Amino acid sequence: MKTVSRVDKLTQEQKDAIPGYVKKWIDIGLRTGETDWDTFDKYMPICYEKAGLKYPKNVVRVSSPLVGALAASIAELLWKKKGGEVHGAVGGAIGGEIDDSVRDAISNAISDSVRDEVGDEVRDEVGDAIDGAVIDAIGGEIDDSVRGMVRDVASDTIGVEIYNKASVEVAFAVGGAIGRGVDAVSSEVDAVGGEIEGAVGGPVGDA
C-alpha cells in the first residue's frame, strides 16, 4: 500500500468520499443508541473496584448522555436541598402513626386474629404516612427544578422538540433516583413494623 506523505490537492475520488466520511463521524460522535447494559453491569463494578471506589447501590439508566448529566446534577441538588425536610417529615410521620396504630390495635384487641393483623396494619399506616410526607417534601420540587434547569442549560442550544423530550426524560430519571432513595427508607420502615409486631403481638394476644 502506497503511503502518502503530502497532499497538495484532493483527487475527485477523495472529494466524492468526503460526504460519506462526514456522515460516518457525525453519527459516531452523536451516537446514543441502544446501550449494552449487560456488559455495563458486568464490567462497571470492576472499574470502580480498580479505582478504589465503592460501587453505588442505585444505578439509574437513562437514554442519553445529556439526560444523564442533567438528571444526576438535579437529583443531587434536590436530595441535598430536600434531604432534611424529607427525613424530618418521614420521622414525624413514623412517630405519630406508630403511636396511634399501636394504641388502637391494643385497645381493640379481643381475639387472636387481631394479633396477626397488627404488623400489617402498622406497616400500611406508616407507609401511607411516608408516601404523603415524601410527596409533600419533594413532589413539586422535581417538576419545577427539572424544567427550570433543563431550560437554562439546553433551550438556547437545542430545538424545542428536543428540549421538551429531554425535560420529560430527565424528570423520569430524577424521579427514579430519588424514588430509590425513598424505597430505602421504606425498607427501614418495614423493619420497624416487624419489631412492633413482635413487641405488641404477645400483649395483644393475651388481651
DSSP-derived secondary structure for 60-90: ---SSHHHHHHHHHHHHHHHHHHHHHHHHHH
Helix axes 160-206, 65-107, angle to 10 degrees: 20
Q: Decide if 55 is inside a domain.
A: no
Q: Consecutive 10-residue runs of the chain (207 residues): their mean pLDDT?
A: 73 89 83 80 94 87 73 69 56 54 49 46 48 49 55 50 54 60 54 53 51
Rounded Cα distance between 37 and 5, Å, is 43
Output the CA–CA distances (angstroms, integers) from residue 96 to 89, 90, 99, in the order listed: 11, 10, 5
50 occurs within a structural domain: no
Is 183 within the bounds of a domain?
yes
Whether 197 is covered by a domain: the verdict is yes
| 44 inside domain | no
Q: Which domain holds residue 86?
A: 63-206
pTM: 0.34
Q: Indicate whether 37 belongs to any domain.
A: no
Residue 168 lies in a domain: yes
